[in-house]
Structure 1
Amino acid sequence: MSLRSLIVSAVISLGMVVAVQAQSFPVTVQHAYGESVIPEKPQRIVTWGWSTQDAVIALGEVPVGIPHFSYGGDENGALRWTKEAVAALGAEFPTILPAGGEPPVEAIAALQPDLILAVYSGLTQEQYDVLSGIAPVVAFPETVWDTSWQDTITITGEAIGKKAEAEALVAELEQFIADETAKYPQLAGTSFAAIAEWNGEINVYGDLDSRVQFLVNAGLTSAPSVAELAQGQDLYFMLSFENLDRLTSDVLVTYFETPETDAAFFGNSVIALAPQVAKGAVARVVGAELINSVSPPSALSLKWGYPQYIKLIADAATAAGK
């Protein structure tokens, strides 16, 4: 079944399940910067940060403005699964906001939003205060860039009047993950360490990183060596090439934006000596689009990327002798 068919089917089925009891307004949403009151069902939604736009669209609404995604997006900054989902709904694609690390206040104001969603973002208190002068703003629940994909969906659903639909969508996607993972019994008990290269060193993702949490929630085990070497740096830490052998695990999961950077890393003679590399027990995740779809996933990217992602890890587990 195509992604378009899956989206249409999901939106229809979710609507049938929960149409009997529509959510009432006003709605008050708690977040890291206090609480925001949404007086009535929003009609003009702007999203900021990562994945919130996909949560809105997966719930059958289309924002008027979304961020520009240079990493994994097309020449206009649009993500493949977002484009396909909007087309499946038969809607006009949202305005893509100017690229940049800070919210483009003037561009957002020009869209005349009645709700700004920054549920998974790095929004600062100052930025929140400025945007709140335009429309109610829903920020992340506790910490910047640390909202789970499940919470991103449910908080978005609550804010736009589709709380029940959001909860149903999370349950559906969690079952999808379980079903896909169950195809590979060799993953049971498999430990992993997730890495990339940064400035000539190995960037090891810690146990609180969203990539690691996602795989742990899917049933894999973060290798004990990750926490041991992290020494309290739970999001990420750096490791020299020569010390990669200290990162003991059944498999390595590596992330490289291009085939060229992937090949250069594994062409290094020191890297080739690591036990996982020598066995071929490496899930080499290559390409910004695939990486973007699973680290972390969104309400729309998960079904697109997870089957490819988990198969790479399962093949690495097989090479490890699992």
Structure 2
Amino acid sequence: MIHAPRVAAVAVAALLTVGLAACSSSSTPEAQSADGDWTPVTIEHALGTTTIESKPDRVATVNWANQEVPLALGVVPVGMAAANFGDDDGDGVLPWVQQKLEDLDAPTPVLFDETDGVDFEAVADTDPDVILAAYSGLTQEDYDQLSEIAPVVAYPDTAWGTPWRDMIEVSSTALGMGDEGRQLITDLDRQIDESVANHPDIAGKSAMFLTHIDTTNLSEVSFYTTHDTRTMFFEDLGMTTPASVAAASAETDKFSLTRSAEQADAFNDVDIIVTYGGDELTNALKADPLLSQMPAVVNNSIVSLPTDGPIGTASNPTPLSISWVLDDYLDRLDQAADQAQ
């Protein structure tokens, strides 16, 4: 199976290779001697250019899921953002992250409360050598302030739009573990392909991911565009993007769009709808005079994920959540595919 998002990962790898070559000629003898064979790493990203002069031992991560790359590579961060949605037991750590910490026999890192944004003071208190935020929504102001604490690796292109492979590529390079990162990508790709092979009914089915829907007001519906990683994940699973969603996405760089329910017939090419909610949502869609005419609703080809649970959260693929959710998610998609005509 060929995964379209892998093209982006290759592009990022090429960019990072250029950065490494460029900075190796200007690296200082002091930096090299202090860290053995470490060569300073330069990474270009959407908010600037970051050079990591010495091997980072104390790694902090901010914003969603950035702790997962170092953990997957056996590096326990000194601090990471507390989970603020999808946390089933309220401890600030998602189950796949907790599982990895247990596998590494490691205590929970310092948890940064990002309810009101990045907690700069808490990050500074962990005394990091590098701050990873390859999948994030950092503003330029956030980045500049964090850069006063330690070198910051921000998202390569679009806020909240970094595919999981690029997350791994960027963060593993920043840690001097590029080879290990590429092996991790290979291992996850193999796992995805093996699991998808056991669910042939979803192959080629078109899928649309609706965002959280207000069942009391269905005059408008919102959906994730092709710039969002949830939608990108469909292609990893052998599914396709409906032409209607692709066309709407081509007109924007936003990760979601809203359309009037009166335009619902534009999405007649959608085989499967994935969304957040439960029976109440499904029943509301079926009862609505406009949305009920969508073929996916007529056929009951709807995957309704828990709004606040970890399964719904993991539909946004990240390096550790993929293995945790993959078979369950595919089973749900399979059931919806069975209903599609």
TM tier relative to shorter chain: 0.7 to 0.9
Tell me the CA shift for residue 262 of structure 1.
3.1
Of 138, 141, 144, 1:123 maps to 138
Within a 5 Å distance, the mapping from 1:79-90 to structure 2 comes to 79-90=94-105
Aligned to 1:283: 303
Q: Percent identical across equivalent pairs?
A: 32
Alignment deviations for residues 114-170 of structure 1 (CA, whole Å, 9 cap, x no partner): 111111111111211111111111111122111110010111111112111100000
Q: Secondary structure at the match of 1:221?
A: coil
Aligned to 2:284: 265
Aligned to 1:157: 172
Tell me, yes or no, if the aligned pair for 1:253 and 1:285 is still in contact at 8 Å: no
Relative to structure 1, is the Cα distance of residues 229 and 108 closer, same or farther in structure 2, using a 3 angstrom cutoff? closer
With 25-34 and 174-183 compared, the bigger mean Cα shift is at: 25-34
Relative to structure 1, is the Cα distance of residues 311 and 254 closer, same or farther in structure 2, using a 3 angstrom cutoff? same
Tell me, yes or no, if the aligned pair for 1:250 and 1:320 is still in contact at 8 Å: no
Relative to structure 1, is the Cα distance of residues 231 and 161 closer, same or farther in structure 2, using a 3 angstrom cutoff? closer
Aligned to 1:221: 240
Tell me, yes or no, if the aligned pair for 1:60 and 1:89 is still in contact at 8 Å: yes
Shift >4 Å, 4+ stretches: 228-231
Q: How many Å separate the matches in 2 of 1:240 and 1:254?
A: 18
With 61-70 and 25-34 compared, the bigger mean Cα shift is at: 25-34
Within a 5 Å distance, the mapping from 1:286-305 to structure 2 comes to 286-288=306-308, 289-295=310-316, 297-305=317-325
Tell me the CA shift for residue 303 of structure 1.
0.7
Relative to structure 1, is the Cα distance of residues 237 and 104 closer, same or farther in structure 2, using a 3 angstrom cutoff? same
Aligned to 2:202: 187
Relative to structure 1, is the Cα distance of residues 263 and 280 closer, same or farther in structure 2, using a 3 angstrom cutoff? closer
Q: Secondary structure at the match of 2:273?
A: strand
Alignment deviations for residues 2-56 of structure 1 (CA, whole Å, 9 cap, x no partner): xxxxxxxxxxxxxxxxxxxx97332222222332222222121110122210111
Tell me, yes or no, if the aligned pair for 1:223 and 1:248 is still in contact at 8 Å: no
Which runs of 5 or more structure 1 residues have no equivalent in the other structure? 1-21
Relative to structure 1, is the Cα distance of residues 40 and 228 closer, same or farther in structure 2, using a 3 angstrom cutoff? closer
Tell me, yes or no, if the aligned pair for 1:33 and 1:125 is still in contact at 8 Å: yes
Q: How many Å separate the matches in 2 of 1:34 and 1:242?
A: 43
Aligned residues: 298
Which runs of 5 or more structure 2 residues have no equivalent in the other structure? 1-35
Q: RMSD of aligned C-alpha atoms?
A: 2.2
Q: How many Å separate the matches in 2 of 1:183 and 1:272?
A: 31
Alignment deviations for residues 253-300 of structure 1 (CA, whole Å, 9 cap, x no partner): 2221x53653563463434443222212222222431121121x1111
Which residue identity is paired with 1:140?
Answer: Y
Aligned to 1:49: 63
Of 244, 248, 251, 2:268 maps to 248
Tell me, yes or no, if the aligned pair for 2:301 and 2:337 is still in contact at 8 Å: yes
Q: Secondary structure at the match of 1:204?
A: strand
Q: Secondary structure at the match of 2:114?
A: coil
Q: Secondary structure at the match of 1:30?
A: strand
Tell me the CA shift for residue 224 of structure 1.
1.1
Q: Secondary structure at the match of 2:287?
A: coil
Tell me, yes or no, if the aligned pair for 2:272 and 2:337 is still in contact at 8 Å: no
1:63 maps onto 2:77 in alignment: yes
Tell me the CA shift for residue 106 of structure 1.
0.7
Aligned to 1:307: 327
1:166 maps onto 2:187 in alignment: no
With 267-276 and 163-172 compared, the bigger mean Cα shift is at: 267-276
Relative to structure 1, is the Cα distance of residues 233 and 93 closer, same or farther in structure 2, using a 3 angstrom cutoff? same
Relative to structure 1, is the Cα distance of residues 101 and 150 closer, same or farther in structure 2, using a 3 angstrom cutoff? farther
Relative to structure 1, is the Cα distance of residues 105 and 261 closer, same or farther in structure 2, using a 3 angstrom cutoff? farther
Within a 5 Å distance, the mapping from 1:84-99 to structure 2 comes to 84-99=99-114
TM (norm. structure 1) is 0.85
